[in-house]
């Protein structure tokens, strides 16, 4: 009889072994937790919750040990019982202070984003300019007093304002195709920093969801779905700076919630000619969630900004005493811009590990910018001021189907597939020669752009022991149309192109605290419609080839280390120079790099981090010594620490270092590096927080952006090519008071 019972027991255990483990993760008040991690410590399987808090963890057996983790919540451990495999479980995670203990290095290709989430939670961004700095190795610079989008540097790319980094907010693209100022222009100033939930990112062309602009990498910001508390704050500082913020819960009833956020920012900046800068942001978000079924997010936002700028100044003018570092040659520069967005996000739980995620957006954008980079080089009488202008309507949608419980014979795997489109209608895309922002002297380029990008992608994840293999393929179709309105006859040029981008990523996770990865993939260098038609369809989307080999290690609970060696090769780059209205081919390029980072939390209330990046970037078709890629950073380091808790004293210090780098192809002109330190001191008392924020704590003299430019001053007989720069912020003190309720 006992043998019969043993056989029956084995049969029963076999029936319930290696089954799907299903359930939902919620907060203490019953709200679903999205993107929480579920990790099977016994066999290495992992999963994440969807927008409704549901998950499916396949190949789970009785007595397996499961981790449930999410930043800001205490990690739970549960041993699987037989009944857990018969019906869904419900796991409640309780809020807790942010800790590296909550990070589990599961087998996912962008696991490093989980660590940066800790950076964001422990040291929130204090301004829109800081958002992109949260990405390890990404350096930014502003050269129009906060009005223009920041200049971006990543992995040996001078990305300009976004040409080779794809930037999204809740799935809505930020980069502007065929922009008046240049391809990929990405103005993130419509985002209110306090509304950011996390910063998701990846480097290289390895991600099937990312297409256009994803060469050096991508950044995807996620905004808060709801507010835990309402908040108001006011900020006053040097240079006539004032900032006012309000975030209010306006609805919390049943399955519905909504909040409003608004920001007003005013400053004159440290320059001698006041910037008269003002920016207004308004955001409203409504959330409707049916527990266990679906979630709907409706987001509307509006942003507008206006400013004057002192522009980039030549080093010789400062050396000769003609102007100070904060002076100007032409202080009539400046501009105005606005963007209005409406975004719909819908997540549907289809049960059995399947989900459908849909996003759609509509955006209206306008832009007007006045600049003068060469002063009196081309027009010795009126000067070289230019105007760049456009009026744009942008719309698109995307749908992604995910299945975490697929089977192929006896093989279990996960897959996802998606389709989408984006359409840009740009009217009156203009480059003109102007005088004092008032008089139109000559139109240099003037036309309408229509650009369509439709795409599809599919990928799978196969797990074999401790290995995960992720093959994927992306297909992009582009149609470029440009109407030249300066032509006496109707001149409409059109080109089409299809790009295939295969990816294959391999992850080896021997433990929950160790990950090794090999990323491989192809992408393409984004191109401007005006480049495409001018080049008559040749080399429309030059291929990018990338390889990353790296590791993330967690040797102890509160220490995480990462290291990556990588390479990226581009077939060709055609650049539309918006400031001159010309097309410049730059040939084939090769970039090799090493990235290392560390995050350490010796105890609750102290968090330290650092990231160092080295890049060797060269053109492959130029002679040795003449093959430098202008302004490509070769060595950068960022880091800092935060200390304290919400109540009582807290604060932090952050630093960033950029080495000297070539400003032209033969390195005869050098852009000087810098080391800048920022600091914050807070005091929390009940619902009040009093803060002191200091940028450039040691009052370092540094140049935020630098260019090798040929220019001529009014008094000069001949032009001179040298460094032109925008001075970095000097010692900058602000005070802030916040109240939550």
Q: Residue 111, by phi and psi: left (phi above 0), alpha (psi -120 to 50) or beta? A: alpha
Q: Are strands 313-314 and 582-585 parallel, antiparallel or unpaired?
A: unpaired
Dist. CA 309–CA 276, nearest whole Å: 9
Dist. CA 365–CA 304, nearest whole Å: 10
The answer to whether the Cα torsion of 199, 203, 206, 209 is positive or negative is positive
Checking if the pLDDT of 608 tops 60, the result is yes
The set of residues, in sequence order, having a beta carbon less than 8 Å from that of 359 and lying 6+ positions away, is 170, 171, 172, 343, 344, 345, 346, 397, 398, 399
Dist. CA 558–CA 716, nearest whole Å: 61
Buried b (16+ CB within 10 A) or exposed e, 178-195: bbbbbbbbbbbbbbbbbb
The answer to whether the Cα torsion of 135, 139, 144, 148 is positive or negative is negative
Least confident span in 10-19, 194-203, 460-469, 703-712: 10-19
For residues 182 and 574, the model is more confident at 182
The two most distant CA atoms of the chain are separated, in Å, by 109
pLDDT tier for residue 6 given thresholds of 50, 70 and 90: very low
Dig out the tokens for 577 from the structure: 């120079």
Dist. CA 310–CA 517, nearest whole Å: 46
Dist. CA 297–CA 287, nearest whole Å: 5
Q: Is 10 helix (H, G, I), strand (E, B) or coil?
A: helix
Give the residue among 145, 238, 130 at the shortest CA–CA distance from 699. 238
Report the pLDDT averaged over residues 62-85: 84
The answer to whether 326 touches 310, Cβ cutoff 8 Å, is yes
Secondary structure string (H, E, C) spanning 404-444: EEEEECCEEEEEEEEEEEEEEEEEEEEEEEEECCCEEEEEE
Report the pLDDT averaged over residues 468-487: 95
Give the residue among 597, 639, 595, 637 at the shortest CA–CA distance from 615. 595
Task: Give the pLDDT of residue 218.
Answer: 94
Q: Which helix (H) or strand (E) holds 11?
A: helix 2-16
Q: Is 706 helix (H, G, I), strand (E, B) or coil?
A: strand
Q: What's the CATH fold of domain 19-96?
A: Immunoglobulin-like (2.60.40)
How far the first Cα of the chain sits from its last, in Å, is 67
Dig out the tokens for 352 from the structure: 């059995």
Q: What is the pLDDT of residues 322-370, one digit of tens each?
A: 999 999 999 999 999 999 999 999 999 888 888 999 999 999 999 999 9
Checking if the pLDDT of 203 tops 60, the result is yes
The share of the chain scoring above pLDDT 90, in percent, equals 61
Q: Are strands 19-26 and 73-79 parallel, antiparallel or unpaired?
A: unpaired
What radius of gyration do the chain's Cα atoms show? 27
pLDDT tier for residue 15 given thresholds of 50, 70 and 90: very low
Task: Give the pLDDT of residue 11.
Answer: 37
Dist. CA 663–CA 241, nearest whole Å: 33
Dist. CA 600–CA 554, nearest whole Å: 10
Dist. CA 514–CA 556, nearest whole Å: 11
Dist. CA 721–CA 666, nearest whole Å: 13
54-60 sheet: strands from edge to edge: 54-60, 19-26, 89-92
The share of the chain scoring above pLDDT 70, in percent, equals 94
pLDDT tier for residue 112 given thresholds of 50, 70 and 90: confident
Checking if the pLDDT of 576 tops 60, the result is no
Dig out the tokens for 132 from the structure: 């992109």
Distances (CA, A) of 237 to 266, 649, 695, 702: 10, 21, 11, 21
* Residue carrying the six token digits 């080295």: 614
Task: Give the pLDDT of residue 13.
Answer: 42
The structure's pTM equals 0.90
pLDDT tier for residue 19 given thresholds of 50, 70 and 90: confident
Dist. CA 481–CA 451, nearest whole Å: 6
Q: Is 343 helix (H, G, I), strand (E, B) or coil?
A: strand
Q: How many CA atoms does the CB half-sphere of 533 hold within 13 Å?
A: 18
**Mean pLDDT in the chain?**
88
Dist. CA 624–CA 626, nearest whole Å: 5
DSSP character string of 616-634: EEEESSS-TTS-B-TT--S
Q: What is the pLDDT of residues 395-437, one digit of tens each?
A: 999 999 999 888 887 778 889 999 999 999 999 999 999 999 9
Task: Give the pLDDT of residue 278.
Answer: 95
The set of residues, in sequence order, having a beta carbon less than 8 Å from that of 320 and lying 6+ positions away, is none
Can 19-96 and 112-725 be said to share one CATH topology? no
Q: Is 188 helix (H, G, I), strand (E, B) or coil?
A: coil
Task: Give the pLDDT of residue 108.
Answer: 67
Dist. CA 157–CA 634, nearest whole Å: 10
Distances (CA, A) of 178 to 452, 488, 573, 590, 711: 12, 23, 15, 25, 26
Which CATH superfamily groups domain 112-725?
TonB-dependent receptor, beta-barrel domain (2.40.170.20)
Give the residue among 90, 65, 91 at the shortest CA–CA distance from 80. 65
Q: Residue 300, by phi and psi: left (phi above 0), alpha (psi -120 to 50) or beta? A: beta
Q: How many CA atoms does the CB half-sphere of 303 hold within 13 Å?
A: 18
The answer to whether 204 touches 519, Cβ cutoff 8 Å, is yes
For residues 596 and 32, the model is more confident at 596
Checking if the pLDDT of 528 tops 80, the result is yes
Report the pLDDT averaged over residues 645-671: 93
Query: Alpha helix locations (H) across 31-164?
Result: 112-122
Q: What is the pLDDT of residues 254-279, one digit of tens each?
A: 889 999 999 999 999 999 999 999 99
Dig out the tokens for 539 from the structure: 């080399």
pLDDT tier for residue 116 given thresholds of 50, 70 and 90: confident
Dist. CA 450–CA 427, nearest whole Å: 9
165-169 sheet: strands from edge to edge: 172-173, 165-169, 217-223, 196-203
Task: Give the pLDDT of residue 77.
Answer: 86
Q: How far is CA 728 from the centre of its chain?
A: 23
Highest-pLDDT range among 16-25, 242-251, 536-545: 242-251
Dist. CA 638–CA 655, nearest whole Å: 6
For residues 527 and 168, the model is more confident at 168
pLDDT tier for residue 128 given thresholds of 50, 70 and 90: low
Least confident span in 95-109, 210-224, 617-631, 678-692: 95-109
Dig out the tokens for 691 from the structure: 């803060």
Q: What is the pLDDT of residues 295-332, one digit of tens each?
A: 999 999 999 999 999 889 999 999 999 999 999 999 99
Task: Give the pLDDT of residue 645.
Answer: 85
Phi, psi for 606 (deg, rounded to 5): -135, 125
Report the pLDDT averaged over residues 135-161: 85
Dist. CA 657–CA 673, nearest whole Å: 7
Report the pLDDT averaged over residues 466-490: 92
Task: Give the pLDDT of residue 105.
Answer: 66
Which letter does DSSP use for residue 124 in this model? -
Beta-bridge partner residues of 406: 413
Q: What is the pLDDT of residues 33-63, one digit of tens each?
A: 877 888 887 877 777 787 677 888 877 888 8
Checking if the pLDDT of 71 tops 90, the result is no
In this structure, what is the dihedral angle of CA atoms 7, 13, 14, 16, given to the nearest 10 degrees? 150
Beta-bridge partner residues of 723: 708
Domain coordinates in residue numbering, the chain: 19-96, 112-725
The set of residues, in sequence order, having a beta carbon less than 8 Å from that of 207 and lying 6+ positions away, is 109, 110, 214, 218, 503, 521
Neighbours of 256 (CB within 10 A): 12
Dist. CA 597–CA 115, nearest whole Å: 10
């Amino acid at each position: 009889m006992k043998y019969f019972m043993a056989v029956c027991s084995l049969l029963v255990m076999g029936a319930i072994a290696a089954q799907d483990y299903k359930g939902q993760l919620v907060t203490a008040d019953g709200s679903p937790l999205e993107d929480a991690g579920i990790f099977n410590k016994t066999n290495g399987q992992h999963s994440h919750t969807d927008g409704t808090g549901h998950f499916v963890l396949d190949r789970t057996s009785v007595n397996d040990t499961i981790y449930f983790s999410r930043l800001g919540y205490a990690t739970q451990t549960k041993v699987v019982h037989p009944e857990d495999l018969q019906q869904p479980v419900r796991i409640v995670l309780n809020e807790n202070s942010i800790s590296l203990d909550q990070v589990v290095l599961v087998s996912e290709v962008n696991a490093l984003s989980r660590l940066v989430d800790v950076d964001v939670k422990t040291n929130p961004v204090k301004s829109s300019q800081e958002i992109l700095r949260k990405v390890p190795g990404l350096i930014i610079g502003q050269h129009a007093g906060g009005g223009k989008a920041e200049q971006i540097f990543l992995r040996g790319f001078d990305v300009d304002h976004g040409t080779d980094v794809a930037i999204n907010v809740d799935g809505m693209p930020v980069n502007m195709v065929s922009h008046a100022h240049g391809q990929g222009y990405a103005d993130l100033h419509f985002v209110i920093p306090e509304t950011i939930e996390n910063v998701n990112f990846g480097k290289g062309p390895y991600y099937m969801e990312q297409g256009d602009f994803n060469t050096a990498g991508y950044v995807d910001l996620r905004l808060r779905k709801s507010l835990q508390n309402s908040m108001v704050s006011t900020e006053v500082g040097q240079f006539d700076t004032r900032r006012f913020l309000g975030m209010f819960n306006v609805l919390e009833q049943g399955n519905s919630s909504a909040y409003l956020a608004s920001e007003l920012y005013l400053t004159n900046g440290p320059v001698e000619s006041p910037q008269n800068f003002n920016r207004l942001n308004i955001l409203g978000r409504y959330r409707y969630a049916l527990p266990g079924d679906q979630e709907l997010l409706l987001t509307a936002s509006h942003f507008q900004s206006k400013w004057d700028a002192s522009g980039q100044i030549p080093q010789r003018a400062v050396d000769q005493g003609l102007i100070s570092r904060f002076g100007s040659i032409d202080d009539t520069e400046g501009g105005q811009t606005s963007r209005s967005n409406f975004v719909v996000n819908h997540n549907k739980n289809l049960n059995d590990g399947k989900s459908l995620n849909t996003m759609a957006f509509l955006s209206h954008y306008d832009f007007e910018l006045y600049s003068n980079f060469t002063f009196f080089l081309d027009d010795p009488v009126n000067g070289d001021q230019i105007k760049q202008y456009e009026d744009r309507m942008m719309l698109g949608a995307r749908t992604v189907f995910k299945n975490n419980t697929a089977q192929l014979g006896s093989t279990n795997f996960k897959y996802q597939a998606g389709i989408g489109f984006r359409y840009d209608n740009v009217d009156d895309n203009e480059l003109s020669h102007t005088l004092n922002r008032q008089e139109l002297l000559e139109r240099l380029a003037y036309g309408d752009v229509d650009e369509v990008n439709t795409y599809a992608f599919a990928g799978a994840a196969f797990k074999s022991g401790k290995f995960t293999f992720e093959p994927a393929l992306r297909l992009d179709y582009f149609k470029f149309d440009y109407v030249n309105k300066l032509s006496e006859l109707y001149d409409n040029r059109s080109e089409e192109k299809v790009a295939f981008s295969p990816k294959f990523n391999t992850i080896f996770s021997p433990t929950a605290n160790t990950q090794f990865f090999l990323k491989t993939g192809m992408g393409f260098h984004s191109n401007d419609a005006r480049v495409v038609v001018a080049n008559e369809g040749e080399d429309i989307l030059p291929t990018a080839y990338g390889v990353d080999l790296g590791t993330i290690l967690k040797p102890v609970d509160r220490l995480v280390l990462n290291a990556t060696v990588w390479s990226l090769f581009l077939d060709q780059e055609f650049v539309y120079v918006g400031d001159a209205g010309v097309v410049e081919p730059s040939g084939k390029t090769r970039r090799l790099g090493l990235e290392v980072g560390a995050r350490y939390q010796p105890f609750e209330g102290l968090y330290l981090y650092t990231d160092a990046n080295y890049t060797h970037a060269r053109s492959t078709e130029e002679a040795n010594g003449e093959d430098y890629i202008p302004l490509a950073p070769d060595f950068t380091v960022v880091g800092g620490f935060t200390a304290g808790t919400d109540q009582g004293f807290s604060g932090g210090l952050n630093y960033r270092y950029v080495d000297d780098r070539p400003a032209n192809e033969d390195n005869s002109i050098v852009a000087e590096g810098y080391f800048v330190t920022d600091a914050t001191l807070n005091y929390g008392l009940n619902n009040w927080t009093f803060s002191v924020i200091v940028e450039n704590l040691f009052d370092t003299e540094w140049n935020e952006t630098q260019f090798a430019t040929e220019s001529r001053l009014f008094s000069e007989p001949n032009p001179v090519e040298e460094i032109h720069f925008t001075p970095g912020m000097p010692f900058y003190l602000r005070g802030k008071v916040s109240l939550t309720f």
